[in-house]
Structure formats: structure tokens, C-alpha cells
Amino acid sequence: MRQQSTRRSAVLGRGAVVATVPVAVAALLATAGPAAAGSTGASGAGDPYFPLAGNGGYHVSHYGLTLDYDTASRHLDGTAVLTARATESLARFGLDFEGLKVTGVTVDRHKADFRRNGQELVVTPRHALRKGQEFRVTVAYNGTPGPVTDPDGSLDGWIPTDDGAFVAGEPQGAMTWFPANNHPKDKSSYDFTITVPESRTAVANGVYLGKQTAHGKTTYRWRQSEPMAAYLATATVGKFKVEQYTTRDGIKVYNAVDPREATDAARVLKKLPSVLEWESKVFGPYPFRAAGSIVDHAPDVGYALETQTRPVYDSAPSTSTLVHENAHQWFGDSVSLTSWKDIWLNEGFATYAEWLYSEQHGGDSAQKTFDDLYSRRASDDLWDFPPADPGSGKNIFGTPVYARGAMALHELRTAVGDPTFYRILRAWATEHRAGHGTTTQFERLAERESGKNLDELFQTWLYSEGKPNKP
């Protein structure tokens, strides 16, 4: 997940949209009852740390986002087309959307009533939606987007820069620039059509489909076909030097680098193909069709993020940061959370990937890194809370989630041996590919693959308060 790129390292703690999905048939609504016949979808997905994140009653299969951003005025015009399916009968439903002005909403081309309620955009369609019914929501909006402040005081969402915007949505920020079912439980495919001044480049997720320039503006098109959580979407805008190539494994790479960061970034970005190849050998096949990097110059951000297929960095990354954010393509992006409480499954795994990479590329062994961390005093923030129970949204980017989460994996490796441990990693990434996973599911998988009872190990390293006894 989000990795602090300057103040803290991951080891230490932080045009037209091309249709690709079915569209609901308007005739299906003809038999639907009046709006009062349905229920109101829940205003949250039930997350204990972010209770208003996400919405109940429907699943979004696809987002078509058409954006026009003027970097001088910082004004955004947007249209979001959501293709969804009702999971219960709905008289109305909510979308997470904050800050921007909504100018119109339709459901299957029929004008729908809407109102704002905090971060919720509550939509009432002309007819109630039946359980199982596919429908299409179109939201037109505009305004000056900005970030949200997270419980730990950091910013995420649409963060303006001196030449565009750094767009990184973990955990809440997707709702600052498009209406969404904004919880990792709900994953969708995406099409992006982003128009910016001709002197700027707009970079999103997935495969680059091309650009077209006219009247001083350039429109960029991107497609993310594999399922993606809303917080992993990006539409970063700036002055970028672009590099494109295809790896020998057929992965389409698109790197966009702010010229001010180009010299420092070049040496590290050259390693991307070999890093992906190494991670594919360790974790299993790369889960997406595209890869790359967005290296922005955003000194006020203070972190990098594993935006799906193309991590975004606030400055030139180190090799360890490159390894970390791309490990997330397996752990966090392809295998997603069902609750932010389980974020160690993202951060502990990506941090341990750094340790393994170091160990296998002439650096410190994972055991040495573990020992150095374990030598810290009991009062160190490493032991402030257990990684599988951070306690609140304020702590999800804390040191224990990253470093003690990685220590838990090292203890597992020590207990089951290398062949079994690597089999566990691959099985986790493969069996939950493009889906979700929980801590309990990982524990069961580890016991299945090892044939061992690992309750005590997991209780000690994932759930116990304070510094564990010497292993």
C-alpha cells in the first residue's frame, strides 16, 4: 500500500470512452415497480475503520471516466458512467463522492433525483431496481478537486502540483475526483479518457490506447481490464518524459517521469523489467497486462503508492521502493483487502519482498534485517500495536503494519522452511488472483501447505500486544 518515500521507508514503517462491458437494457426497467418498492443500499461497506467507505446494494463492474482538466485554473469537468448490478432491490443507492459539484445524474438514460449527504451522493432512479438487474449510472460533475486528509494527517486523492496533479487515492481519495463504490471489496474494470493542455501528459492505469491532439489540448485514453479497487485508480497529470517498451514476457511498460526527477530515476527504472521478472519467479506470473512508473515531482506528498499496473512516486524512487510498490501488484492490487484492518497483507508482504530482494541481490539477509529490528527496545514504535489489529484508520500506515508484518512472514518462513514458504506465497497470489483475501484465509492456507499448526506463531506475531519474546 502507501509507502513513505522520504520521511520513512517501508522497512521502517510507510475523447469517447470505448465500451468494453455490457450496458443495461432500458426495457428491463419497464417492469420495475415504483421507487418506494425497493430498499436503500447501505451507506457503507461495513469497514470498521472507514464505516462510510463503499456502499451496499450493488456491485460496479465497470467505470468509464471522461475527464477534462485545465492545469492553469485547476478546473475539472468530468463524466462518470458506471455499469453496475443490483445485489438487492433498490429504491435508491449511494455513491462516494466529495467536493465537486454534480450537474446531473441519469440511470439508464432516465433523469434521476439526487442529493448530497456528506461524502454520499444519494441517487433515486425513476424506477426501483430489481435484485440482479444490471443498470447504468451517468454522473456529470465539475469543480476544483482537492485532496482529503486521512486520520494520520496525510493527504490523498487529487493533490495539485505545480504542473498538474498527483493522484493517489489510498484509502479514501478516489471520491475526490470520481463517484465510486469506494471500498476494496468492490473491484471493477476501467476506461479513462483524459483531456489536458497540449503541454501536459495524463497517465492512468492499464494499457495505453493512444492520444489525439486538437485545438491546444491532448486527449489520452487508457484501459484497465483486470478488476481494480477504486483507491488504486490514478489520473496523474504533469510535464513528463515518456518511455514505452514491451518486456520479453509481453508486458507493456509505460514510464512517465518529471524531467526534474529524470536523472535520479533513470538508474532505478532500468531495473523494472528485471524486478518484475524476479518477482514473477517468486510470487507467480505477473497479474496484469501492463506495468510502469509515474515519477512526479511532488515534494509535499511524502509517499509513493502502488496504483495498479503503474505505481506513482512523489520523487525518484530507490530500488527498494521500486521492489516494494511492484510487489503490491500481487499483494494488494491483484489480491485485495476485504477490510482495512487486514492491511498488513499488503504492506507486510511488500516489505518482506524488499528483504528477499536484498537477500538475493547481494544485500543484507532477511534474517539480519529481522534481527536488527528485533533488537529495538520494547518502547520502540515497532511494538506499538499488532499488525493484524492496528486499532484504527490512524494506524494503518504505521511501522508495525510494515515491519512487524514482514517479521511475521519471516517467522513463518523459519517455521516451515524455504520450499514450503515460497509455495505458500505463490499459492496465496494464485488462488486469490483478481480477488480478495483475509488474514484468516492466509493463516489457513499456510497451515494447509505446511501441514503444521501455526496458531501460536500467528497469535504471537500478528495479534499480541507489545514486543514478542525472543523467537
Amino acid 17: pLDDT:
32
Q: What is the pLDDT of residue 107?
A: 98
CA dist 418 and 416 (Å) reads 7
Query: How many angstroms separate the CA atoms of 323 and 106, rounded?
Result: 43
**What dihedral do alpha carbons 380, 322, 437, 49 form, nearest 10°?**
50
At residue 15, the pLDDT reads 32
Cα(202)–Cα(213) distance, integer angstroms:
13
**Residue 3 pLDDT:** 55
d(CA 88, CA 55): 12
CB atoms within 10 A of CB 447: 17
Residue 315 to residue 287: CA distance in whole angstroms? 26
For 426, the grid coordinates are 505463490
CB atoms within 10 A of CB 378: 8
58 strand-pairing partners: 86
Alpha helices (H) along 218-374: 262-269, 272-283, 319-327, 344-360, 366-374
Q: Is 269 helix (H, G, I), strand (E, B) or coil?
A: helix
- What is the rounded distance in angstroms from the CA atom of residue 228 to the CA atom of residue 226? 6
Which is nearest to 186 in space by CA: 82, 106, 79? 82
Strand order in the sheet with 155-161: 147-149, 155-161, 164-168, 236-238, 201-203
Cis-peptide into 171, omega within 30 deg: yes
End-to-end CA distance of the chain: 28
Give the Å distances, CA to CA, from 312 to 2, 76, 109, 183. 10, 21, 36, 20
- The pLDDT score that the predictor gives to residue 9 is 35
Cell 490523498 belongs to: 156
C-alpha–C-alpha distance, residues 455 and 444, integer Å: 10
| Tens-digit pLDDT string for the chain (471 aa) | 465 653 333 333 333 333 333 323 333 233 333 344 578 889 899 999 999 999 999 999 999 999 999 999 999 999 999 999 999 999 999 999 999 999 999 999 999 999 999 999 999 999 999 999 999 999 999 999 999 999 999 999 999 999 999 999 999 999 999 999 999 999 999 999 999 999 999 999 999 999 999 999 999 999 999 999 999 999 999 999 999 999 999 999 999 999 999 999 999 999 999 999 999 999 999 999 999 999 999 999 999 999 999 999 999 999 999 999 999 999 999 999 999 999 999 999 999 999 999 999 999 999 999 999 999 999 999 999 999 999 999 999 999 999 999 999 999 999 999 999 999 999 999 999 999 999 999 999 999 999 999 999 999 999 999 999 976
Task: Give long-range contacts, CB 8 A cutoff, 24+ apart: 240-249.
Answer: 240/201, 240/203, 240/294, 242/201, 243/269, 244/208, 247/273, 247/276, 247/277, 247/291, 248/273, 249/276, 249/277, 249/280, 249/286
What DSSP assignment string belongs to 414-465?
Answer: HHH-HHHHHHHHHHHHHHTTTSB--HHHHHHHHHHHH-S--HHHHIIIII-S
Q: How far apart are CA 69 and CA 218, in angstroms?
A: 11
Its sign, for the CA torsion 356, 362, 363, 364, is positive
Cell of 324: 516494494
